[in-house]
Structure 1
Amino acid sequence: MIRICLFFSALMMVFLPTKAQRYEKTTLGAKATINQTTVEIQFYSPTLVRVLKWPAGNTFTKQSLSVIKVPEKTPIKIQENKDRLLISSKELVATLNLKDGQVTFRRPDGTALLNEKGAGSSFTDFTDSGTKTYTVAQSFVLEKEEPIYGLGILQNGKLSQRNQKIRMVQNNTWDFVTFFQSIKGYGLFWDNYSPTTFNDNAEETSFSSEVGDGIDYYFMYGGNADGVVAGMRNLTGQVPMFPLWTYGFWQSKERYKSQTELVGVVKKYRELGVPLDGVIQDWQYWGNNYLWNAMDFLNPEFSNPQKMVDDVHNLNAHLIISIWSSFGPATKQYHKLDSIGALFNFATWPESGSETWPPNMNYPSGVRVYDAYHPKARDIYWDFLNKGLFSRKIDGWWMDSTEPDHLSFKPADMDTKTYLGSFRKVRNAYPLMAVGGVAEHQRAASADKRVFILTRSAFAGQQRYGANTWSGDITSSWESLRNQIPAGLNFSLCGIPYWNSDIGGFFAGGYNKSWNDGSGAKNPLFQELYVRWLQFGAFTPMMRSHGTDVPREIYQFGEKGEPVYNAIESAIKLRYSLLPYIYSTAREVTNEQSTFMRALMMDFSKDKNVSNINNEYLFGPSILVAPVINAQYTPETIVKTNEKTGWNKKDNDKEKATVTETFTQPKATKVYLPAGVAWYDFWTNQMHNGGQEVLKTTTLSTIPLFVKAGSIIPIGPDVQYASEKNWDNLEIRIYEGADGSFTLYEDENDNYNYEKGIYATINFNWNNKTKTLSIADRKGSFPGMLSSRKFKILKVMADQSTETGVKNDHKEITYMGRRIAVKF
């Protein structure tokens, strides 16, 4: 009997370890092989989990192009409960089903967050340019009424991206980021750069990518939208400070044809007294298309480029210049890059060496896109940029075609070899590599001037490169304007806060009486659209007027005193008055992972009415913006172009209407005010309770703006450019009705000394009960800082029993950098 017991005891000792080996502990978590698939769960932090899957028997290693985070040492607990493996941190529980490989995520209190669809992973054999690999897909199951946001810059006009099928391949006007976040406070980044399909329907939500040796995604929990944004930036990179001058008004067009014309624009704005911080030079300053992107002034109309740059600077303005991802065959760059095999062979813009339209294909341009994935190619790119343009003290880079332009698409184009494999494998990350190459090189070359890049495309992680992405060559139409608001909001919800659009839309030929005669600026149909777009642009991270066919400078629209001119000037001056608020918000974006353009669900997630509002948002923490996005004075004109390929000058005479309009009658539009707070009309100071729709009277010069009760907003001086005056005599507006705070931020405006702590902050705190504003001791210092200043404190209050609802109280104080309390 004793022998039998010993035998069974030994037998149990043999088999017990077999059961324990259903999974393997790893440095960051655990992994297991289930149904011929290896699944590994890695905790990068208590709120960030990486999930890897690959066919058993293979190996899967990858150096991410987007992710730069080094995993933190995270205490985790691993438990096996029947057929489930629970891997837990103090913030998250990731569960692996040991029977079918399903991964689920929940909070430690049991709150469900996201589930993979059972057996929802797939690996389909695929040969990528001769290399055996897989097409990979992963499905998830969302709650039926769960809004999700993100996916990049989308021109579909939607805020929530439920019930969408989107083919994600970078193009001119759609910039894709394989990331979404949920109203439930989590986000998911699908780390794959090949052509990808996002699909959401009643059965599942999935990502499917053409090329992948394995499945690789990151799940992050933030608790709310700001927390998710912080998680994405923690994973893929933080946002640097932009120069103060980038937040002023920018004038551009396609294109200034001489240095005399370009400098003349700045001079004219100065003569008119209309604020301006910069002008942008578009393409062909290099000459003909065979010299495409030579990064040098070879066009005889730019015969003295250093004088042009100096003239702009002497007028207290800045200059940004166009550079591209491709080179003409007569350029030095082309030959240097070709010598290391760093040029692609697919068709790109411009197709013809002739500048006529349509392109004369009897004379192909020979322009080729460069391999931005190649580190040596990025070195070459910067070497020429540095010698030809940066050395001339040009202030920033307009990186066009960073998606890049890919015309006459052929399936074989995706087999093009890059430094990192096939173009197919890394397609969507091209803008990240192109922009990153310039940003990293400039930062290494100089800490005295902050990197500023205006780019047409983006991918996850691009926020770390000092880049502001614009929404491409969109059409000049009301529909296009409407689409820009959710496009900017969804892009911001991917963790990339700097976004803008061509004010007025790019293609505007339909508003001219005859082709390209510039008469559209006098056409009321375009005038109304342009003014409304400009007012929207005043509340985006970059206010930049640009387009073709119709000139956009303020003096093209009339003279001072006329309604359209006055409306344009009013919008620009409003932008400048808010610069202290905007620059302080920029500091919150950099230091606190905040966001400029805030979808209403970010701050009012408990109000279900705002979960899919696509035509309003908060700009910074306090100002609700409801742009006028429908024509009120004129009929809407429909302008159709091929936005994906861009540069389609096809003119439609049927859409050219003749309208006479004086723009003098007041109009009205409806605005929803989120629940839970009171709101002040920015223009009249009338207070409204939240949770209701109000009818707001508008004129051509005003759009609906509302300020949240408890807000503190600094109003800056009347200036002609951003840094013209120190922020003395600021008006500090207190919107009573709730406690509030605001931190005024100042630094040297255009270097990286702020990273060394060379900056100053002043904290303002409003106690609504005691009606007291406390201004704290100034913290920090920087050269040129004001040691003392005056503040005009304006308390905005409301009495709803009066018709206007307006009462104000103000006091003037001198602030010496020491704490002071102002009681009303």
Structure 2
Amino acid sequence: MKKRFAFVFSLVFITATGFCQSYKVLPSGILITLHPTHANTKHLIELEPVTAAIIHVTESPASIMPEEKSLIAIPPKQYAHFSVTKKGDLIILSTQKLNVSVSLKTGVVAFAHRDGSPILSEMQDSSMFHPAQAGQDKGYTIQQVFNGSSGEAIYGLGQQQSDVLDYKHKSEILYQYNTKVSIPFITSTKNYGILWDNYSLSKYGDPRNYCNLNQFVLFNKNGEQGSLTATYTEANGHSFVRQEDSIDYENLTTVKNFPDHFNFNNATITWEGWIEPRISGDYKFNLYYAGYTTVYMNDSLIVPERWRTAWNPNTYRYQIHLTAGKRTRLKLVWHPDGGISYIGLKALSICPIEKNGNISFWSEIGDKIDYYFIDGNSLDQVISGYRTITGKATIMPSWAMGYWQSRERYKTQEELLSVVKEYRKLRLPLDNIVQDWFYWPENAWGSHRFDKQRFPHPTAMIDSVHLMHAHIMISVWPKFYATTKHFKEFAQHGWMYMRAIHDSIRDWVGKGYVGSFYDAYSPGARKLFWDQINANLFSKGIDAWWMDASEPDIESNSSITYRKALMNPTALGSSDKYFNAYALMNAKGIYEGQRTTDPNKRVFILTRSAFAGSQHYAAATWSGDIGTRWEDMQAQIPAGLNFAMSGIPFWTMDIGGFCVEHRYETAKEGSSDLTEWRELNARWFQFGTFCPLFRSHGQFPYREIYNISPVNSPIYNIMAYYDRLRYRLMPYIYTLDGMTYLDNYTIMRPLAMNFESDSKTFDVKDQYMFGPALMVCPVYKYLARTREIYFPASAGWYDFYSGQYITGGEKKQVEAPLSRMPLYVAAGAILPMGPVMEYTRQTPATELEIRVYAGCNGLFSLYEDEGINYNYEKGDYSNIPFRYNDKTKTLSIGDRIGNFNGMLKNRIFKIVLIDKKGESKPVLVHYNGHKVVVSI
């Protein structure tokens, strides 16, 4: 590496507060040595300018900075130019964009713009190191707190299900779970981000655990001190009472504390009494629930009935003020969902970190505090910085941007093929059919072999799908029954987690089989995993991979402690230390394996869990086995937005929800339940049309459009309309796909990304931008035919369907008929639309409609490439720039930039101007790649 300045490796000694301090200038940055007055505080601080706007910070109480290769960060080819100066007790590293100072008195690291204006700083005395050990790994429990900024919103942290968009003044525990994806990265509307490089169980905000209700003075329903009254009532009316000082039945260990022999089927359990805090203040409550759950406090309904299926609980949080010495009546009514169900209610006082709006990351174990500070002029630049650190997103194959049909599950070859045939018969657009789990013989999970009785000719089946111009994705778990050949291949190398085998954990299939998961942290194991699925599936023509249970979910609903035991040790060290990054390593192996096997076919991975950097391995994520409730649909909006703000652009969900309420499973034609089921699916389908990936999936009832509602029925026609609309928008959508790679773009966007100067957008969690042009406003309440919408302050908005103009900067109650989800186009938008197609690229895009929305100037660049290979990495793609001048009402179509094999050289563009007066007469433009200026 070249020396960047004359004083590389210079050593400077400074006396401050009576202690000897020093700093060393390195080729990659500076290393500062402090001499703290007590152990387990900062001793070393290293600053590395990855770019002029990205600073890598590591801190340690040790005398030598620990060196460990990051799982998420790609080493920079070279570091940014920097200079170092001393000003009083401050050592300042300066880049072209930033001044980063370290106080030699306190060790505080602070970030500022070059003009001196502050951005963010560590809090004094907030760097925490407590010695910790897990297995052979010795390290520290670590925490770093930053002074947050007033007036900012905080986004990111992956995909949570608590219906939260803005994490300012809030907290979140970061671990992986079905429906929960945790990524230790946040972005601020002040245009900075923090990426926390740690893989252990972590917490954002409050580092404390929620506590049981016995933290309060408890009184039962008779007013007697010491407990709550728990009334257990079985379906036959038999009931009994227990006095309980906690509601803590959240995992397979704690549910053993339920009464013996109680029949949970159609039962009711009620906890009631009073809680009395010892200290006044705001308290946050964490409800963990499966089944039907309702919470009342002081006889007010705090948590309206919520539902989750018995085996897959969810979390809901609420906050109330409690006064010391004053009783608050509590009543929790729970109807279990049959069999083993889970319920818990815990609480915690609001901590100073939350009150003050500070930013904090805490991790269970690590060698050092390790984080990246990212500065930007916009949220897009912050996300771009994240991908500079963790790797660029790939361009997904064009077919992946179309419609995917799935269900749990296609049981036979005939079932799967019949669905594709029916879509083609009905001329409904479809690009991908998904084969869910259990296509293998019952006793051969992990064999990757098709059951010959149900799938007698898998290669012919796959060929038939391709002949119908569709693609096929298949579910591949990292799970193996102990009796399979593949298990034994892993086990002989020590690449299988063996605790589940030793404990004889049986799954839910048939009589129950013993198996476990492979160790994705081992490079050899990752290669073997690919070799196995390549030999059995990829070689037969499978197009894409559905990586289920990649948390890893070795035994659902185990305690965190036992979950770590089940994946211990990993090839890199203890599972405590590497708890959260399994899905990243799993995707890495598949991506690298397929690119080695077939370098010219784009990889596509759909994984239930993810971690920082997943986008670099062609991995998209879906929101897991969510419920089929309106509140679950509502929660997907901020869940998807925060996932996008965690730097990973491709996200989807089970349209209609996965786990189905029993009333929908048995609904009869003409019943109110079936009517609601159909409306729920129609509204969810409208929302799903404008997600980065468009995918329907779930348990029975079957999820095909024609199975949800009869052909040509109103609900069928609604879903068919939006399916076709998705394909008409494909030129726009595929451009967004390309922008994720070329511009590090984010497709699904909180309003603040596009309207950062309008603070009213910061916590709008039920609207979002889909690219630069479209504002999506899902309807998530049953029978709602209007909804309130905030129109961000801008040049104005147009109703997508009618063209009606609406002024920005205000809220409006708008019409939302069942047939149409509110959808608006920003003034200045240029929106390309193609023909209706039954699959992507069915019709060459020789003719496109270009809609131009008046009100301000606009830009759009139409991206195109071959759609299936990696030639775009070599520069084989094209962009056609469009520029609208609102003053002159002219559209400039610039010279085409770039080319690729099969590129259309001559096009017809039908230009349509939409303004306050309505839609103009179309202007046809013949375009041959050279600049054209059109007066409209």
Q: So what's the TM-score if we normalise by structure 1?
A: 0.90
**Match status 1:54 vs 2:206:** no
Cα shift at 1:728: 1.7
1:557 to 693, 708, 715: 708
Relative distance call for 1:271 and 1:138 in structure 2 (3 A) is same
* Alignment partners' CA distance in 1, 2:626 and 2:677: 15
Equivalent in the alignment of 2:224: none
Q: Relative to structure 1, is the Cα distance of residues 574 and 521 closer, same or farther in structure 2, using a 3 angstrom cutoff?
A: farther
Q: Provide the rounded CA distance (Å) in 2 between the counterparts of 1:429 and 1:815.
A: 49
Going from structure 1 to structure 2, the CA distance change for 1:84 and 1:434 (only over 3 Å counts) comes to same
Mapped partners of 1:520, 1:818: distance in 2: 60
- Tell me which amino acid in the other structure corresponds to 1:231: G
How far 1:205 sits from its partner (Å)? 2.5
Contact 2:446 2:487 in 1 (8 A): no
CA distance in 1, matches of 2:885, 2:679: 42
Give the letter for the 1:22 counterpart.
S
1:157 and 2:163 are equivalent in the alignment: yes
| 2:423 is the counterpart of 1:269 | yes
Q: Partners of 2:521 and 2:792 in 1: how far apart?
A: 45
2:261 counterpart of 1:113? no
2:416 partner SS: helix
Q: Distance in 1 between matches of 2:634 and 2:710?
A: 28
1:124 maps to which of 115, 126, 130:
130
Displacement of 1:556 in angstroms is 1.1
- Shift in alpha-carbon separation, 1:56–1:278, aligned structure 2, 3 A: closer
For the 8 Å contact 1:195–1:427, the answer to whether it is kept is: yes
1:607 aligned to which of 758, 776, 783: 758
Deviation at 1:502, TM superposition (A): 0.5
CA pair 351-275 structure 1, distance change in 2 beyond 3 A: farther
- 2:267 maps to none
**Partner in structure 2 of residue 259 of structure 1:** 413
| Maintained 8 Å contact 1:521/1:556 | no
Q: Say whether the 8 Å CA contact 1:402–1:435 is kept in structure 2.
A: no
Mapped partners of 1:257, 1:26: distance in 2: 61
Alignment of 1:67-78 (within 5 A): 67-70=73-76, 72-78=78-84
> Paired residue for 2:584, among 420, 425, 432?
432
Shift in alpha-carbon separation, 1:510–1:346, aligned structure 2, 3 A: farther
Partners of 1:747 and 1:167 lie apart in 2 by 41
**What CA distance in whole angstroms lies between the structure 2 residues aligned with 1:350 and 1:262?**
34
Name the CA distance, whole Å, in 1 between partners of 2:592 and 2:671. 41
Contact 1:171 1:405 in 2 (8 A): yes
Paired letter, 1:137: Q
Q: Aligned partners of 2:507, 2:822: CA distance in 1, in Å?
A: 48
Contact 1:521 1:551 in 2 (8 A): no
Compute the displacement of 1:475 (Å).
0.5
SS at match of 1:52: strand
**Aligned-partner Cα distance in 2 for 1:346–1:779:** 57
Task: Give the direction of change, closer, same or farther, for the CA distance of 1:780–1:43 in structure 2 (3 Å limit).
Answer: closer
Matches within 5 A, 1:323-722: 323-347=476-500, 352=506, 355-356=509-510, 363-407=511-555, 408-409=558-559, 411=561, 414=564, 416-512=568-664, 514=666, 523-632=674-783, 667-722=785-840
Pair 1:208 & 2:362 matched: yes
**CA apart distance, 1:446:** 1.4
Cα shift at 1:722 = 0.8
> Alpha-carbon deviation of 1:74?
2.2
Contact 1:136 1:214 in 2 (8 A): yes
Aligned-residue offset at 1:495:
1.1
User: Once the two structures are aligned, what percentage of the paired residues are identical?
Assistant: 39
* SS at structure 2 position matched to 1:448: coil
Cα distance in 1, alignment partners of residues 13 and 460 from structure 2: 85
CA contact (8 A) 1:571 1:701 kept: no
Aligned-pair CA distance for 1:771:
1.2
What residue number does 1:657 align with? none
CA spacing shift, 1:21–1:669, aligned 2, 3 Å: closer
Q: Which residue of 2 aligns with 1:82?
A: 88
C-alpha distance 270-519 of structure 1, shift in aligned 2 (>3 A): farther
* Structure 1 unaligned spans of 5+: 1-12, 357-362, 634-666, 800-805
2 CA distance for matches of 1:758 and 1:350? 53
CA RMSD of aligned residues (A): 2.2
Q: Given the alignment of the two structures, is residue 237 of structure 1 paired with residue 391 of structure 2, yes or no?
A: yes
Report the more deviating stretch, 102-111 or 377-386.
102-111
Paired letter, 2:463: D
3-state secondary structure, aligned to 2:200 = coil
The equivalent residue for 2:280 is: none
Amino acid at match of 1:279: I
- Is the CA contact (8 Å cut-off) linking 2:21 and 2:104 kept in structure 1? no
Q: Report SS of the residue matched to 1:693.
A: strand
Partners of 1:472 and 1:257 in 2: how far apart? 21
Q: Per the alignment, in what secondary structure is the counterpart of residue 923 of structure 2?
A: strand
Distance 1:520 1:820 in 2: 58
Which residue in 2 is equivalent to 1:791? 909
Shift of 1:381: 0.2
Structure 2 counterpart of 1:43: 49
Contact 1:520 1:526 in 2 (8 A): no
CA distance, structure 2, for counterparts of residue 594 and residue 583 of structure 1: 12
Structure 1 residue aligned with 2:275? none
Return the offset for 1:72.
3.0
Give the letter aligned to residue 393 of structure 1.
G
Q: Against the structure 1 CA distance between its residues 111 and 346, is the aligned structure 2 distance closer, same or farther, given a 3 Å change threshold?
A: farther
Contact 2:31 2:44 in 1 (8 A): yes
Letter in 2 for 1:148: I
Asked whether the equivalents of residues 69 and 237 of structure 1 are also in contact (C-alpha less than 8 Å), the reply is: no
Instruction: State the alpha-carbon separation in 2 of the partners of residues 542 and 133 from structure 1.
Output: 40
Q: Secondary structure at the match of 2:742?
A: helix
Greater percentage in helix: 1
Structure in which a larger fraction of residues adopt strand: 2
Give the match's secondary structure for 2:577: helix
Tell me if structure 1 keeps the 8 A contact 2:912–2:921.
yes
Distance 2:790 2:560 in 1: 47
Contact 2:136–2:573 under 8 Å retained in 1: no
Q: Could you say which residue in structure 1 is the equivalent of 2:99? A: 93
* Structure 2 letter corresponding to 1:417: P
Give deviations 1:400-447, integer Å, cap 9, x for gaps. 011110423362653511110011111111110001110111112212
2:343 corresponds to 1:191:
no
- Give the direction of change, closer, same or farther, for the CA distance of 1:158–1:513 in structure 2 (3 Å limit): closer
Structure 2 residue runs of 5 or longer lacking an equivalent are: 1-11, 206-352
Contact 1:511 1:525 in 2 (8 A): no
- Specify whether residues 249 and 522 from structure 1 end up closer, same or farther in structure 2 by C-alpha distance, changes over 3 A only: farther
Which SS does the other structure have where 2:772 is aligned? Answer: coil
Q: CA deviation at 1:565?
A: 0.7
What SS is found at the alignment partner of 1:368? strand
Q: 1:291 to 1:678 in 2, by over 3 A?
A: same
TM-score by length of 2: 0.79
SS at match of 1:206: strand
- Once the two structures are TM-superposed, the CA of residue 748 in structure 1 deviates from its matched residue by 1.3
Aligned 1:308-323 pairs, distance under 5 A? 308-323=461-476
Does residue 1:725 correspond to 2:875, yes or no?
no
User: Kindly tell me: are residues 813 and 112 of structure 1, through their superposed partners in 2, closer, same or farther at Cα, counting changes over 3 Å?
Assistant: same
| Separation (CA, whole Å) in 1 of partners of 2:714 and 2:14 | 87
Report the alpha carbon displacement of residue 19 of structure 1 after superposing the two structures with TM: 9.1
Contact kept, 8 Å, 1:509 with 1:550, in 2: the verdict is no
8 Å Cα contact 2:481/2:513 also seen in 1 = yes
- With over 3 angstroms needed to count, the CA separation of the structure-2 counterparts of 1:14 and 1:519, relative to structure 1, is closer
**Aligned 8 A contact 2:849 2:911 in 1:** yes
1:218 maps onto 2:368 in alignment: no
User: Residue 315 of structure 1 aligns to which amino acid in structure 2?
Assistant: M
